[in-house]
Each structure stands twice: as structure tokens, then as C-alpha cells.
Amino acid sequence: MDVVGPDLERYAEEHTTPHPPLLDELFRETHETLDLPQMLTGPIEGRFLQFLVWALRAERVLEIGTYSGYSALSMAGGLPEGGHIDTCELEEKHAEVARRYIERAGLSERIAVHVGPAGETIERLGGPWDFVFIDADKEGYVGYYEAVLPKLAAHGLIAADNTLRGGRVLEGDVISEFNDRVRDDPRVVSVLLTVRDGVTLIRRA
Ligand SMILES: C[S@@+](CC[C@H](N)C(=O)[O-])C[C@H]1O[C@@H](n2cnc3c(N)ncnc32)[C@H](O)[C@@H]1O
């Protein structure tokens, strides 16, 4: 769910640099063949993530929750030379679509898709990370946050998606616990942005 209404959301999209044709194709295939296509971040958040990666000059990016690869491919557009993305996905059927589009984009050397529970992948990969995008199972957010925070580079940033949960945070769902924990954590500084379904940016204090 978007925070702003559909008319303003469309207006914002129309005033955002359009995504490349390959991402259009990925968007369509995802909607036609995979469950829950609304999970895909889409053109506005994709560009936003790309801006963050670009502005940070992030060389090492970790994504938790690949789905069909839309956000990974968006972020790749902001990578500096030599930059690399590791992205974690539980479902092989999602990873298969992502790999296919990553290959078509000529980015197989720069984006590695790791299939399996993200917690295990994070432990295996180590760090440090310049940018981490958390966008997998919402019950796992606190665990992912605790796992990546010690491995964040000195100027690293975490972005956590869906931190408004279509308004359900007001009723105290699992993400509201994550939000409270981040706000009350003296180790970090954070801002919850009302972009799409809520994106929280977190850095070390
Ligand atoms: C919201 S979608 C990710 C959307 C993607 N970032 C994009 O913008 O297109 C969440 C993904 O996390 C995956 N997932 C769920 N639990 C997971 C886990 N424990 N480890 C890794 N991936 C997981 C789901 O299969 C799903 O593909």
C-alpha cells in the first residue's frame, strides 16, 4: 500500500526518470507469473534506492529479499566501478527469474543471488556493507538488523522497507516492534520516510 493516494503516486512516477525497458519487462513478467507482485518495489522506490547507492558510492551492497530482482537491478544502476551486490532469497522460483534478468542485463558478475534463509547467508558472507536493503519476511527484520548493524561500514546505511505496513503499524504489528526498537536504539540515528509503504534509513550514531 502507498501512503499517498493513487493519483499523486502516478504523478510522482510520471515525474521520475522512467526505468529501462528491461525492468518494464521484468515488472510485467512478475505480475503475470509470480505470486504477490505488489512485493516488487517499483519505479519510484527503485530510483530512490539507486540514488542512495550512487550518493554513498556504495561498493558493497547487501539485499535481504530479492524476489524477482527488480530492486537489485535498480540498485546496480548506481554502483561505482568495481561495486557488487549480494542479494538473499529463500525461494528458488523467485531467484530463477532474478538470475535470468540479471544475466540479460549483463550484470551476472556484479550481482550474486544467494538462495537460502537470509540469516544463514548473512552469517556466511561477512561484511563490511556500505548499503543494506532489508526487504524480506517482516518477522525477520529485528534479526536482520541485529546481524547487519555490526557489519555496517563506518559510513554505511541500512534501508528497511515497508515500515508503515499499510498503516498496520498503528495497531502494533510486528514491524511496529522493529520501528520502536530502532527508534530507541542509542547505537543508531534513523528516519522513517513516508515513501511508498514506508522506508526507514538507519546509520550508526
Ligand atoms: C518484498 S519481497 C522482495 C522484493 C524485492 N526487494 C523487490 O523490490 O523486487 C520479499 C522476498 O523475501 C523473500 N524471503 C522471505 N523470507 C526470506 C528469508 N528468510 N530469507 C531470504 N529471503 C526471504 C521472499 O521469498 C520474497 O521473495
Q: Domain limits of the chain?
A: 6-204
Q: Band of the pLDDT at 199, cuts 50, 70, 90?
A: very high
User: What is the separation of C-alpha 94 from the centre of its chain, rounded to a whole number of angstroms?
Assistant: 15
Q: Which atom of ligand 1 is nearest to the CA of 39?
A: 1
Stretch 56-85: mean pLDDT, rounded?
A: 98
Q: Cβ–Cβ contacts within 10 Å for residue 3, how many?
A: 15
Mutate to test the pocket of ligand 1, among 33, 91, 123, 197 (most ligand atoms within 8 A of CB): 91
pLDDT of residue 1: 58
Using a 10 angstrom Cβ sphere, with 0-12 exposed, 13-18 middle and 19 or more buried, the burial of residue 106 is: exposed
pTM score of the predicted model? 0.97
The CATH number of the domain covering residues in 6-204: 3.40.50.150
pLDDT of residue 116 exceeding 70, the answer is yes
The edge-to-edge listing of strands for the beta sheet with 152-161 is: 111-115, 84-89, 60-64, 129-134, 152-161, 199-204, 188-193
pLDDT of residue 127 exceeding 70, the answer is yes
pLDDT tens by residue, 140-159: 999 999 999 999 999 999 99
Ligand 1 center from residue 190 Cα (angstroms): 23
Q: Where are the extended beta strands (E) located within 48-98?
A: 60-64, 84-89
